[in-house]
Amino acid sequence: MIGKGDSHLAEASRDASLVMVGRRERRLSIGAAIGPVTHAVLHHAAAPIAAQEP
């Protein structure tokens, strides 16, 4: 697939029962960091989202 990963994942989520995405590992003591694709999928996916640590 060519294009934006977030758009492809959000579109594929229409037929999915779960969308699994990764999150970035940062060495900050405040909260978990997510990248721009994961952020967009969290807001636009039609299926539930699971974010996995690296």
Q: What is the pTM of this model?
A: 0.71
25 Cβ neighbours under 8 A, 6+ residues apart = 33, 53, 54
Q: What is the per-residue DSSP string for the chain?
A: --S-HHHHHHHHGGG-S-EEEE-B----SSS-B--HHHHHHHHH-SS-EEEE--
pLDDT by residue, tens only, the chain of 54 residues: 556 888 999 999 999 999 998 877 666 556 667 788 888 999 999 999 998 876
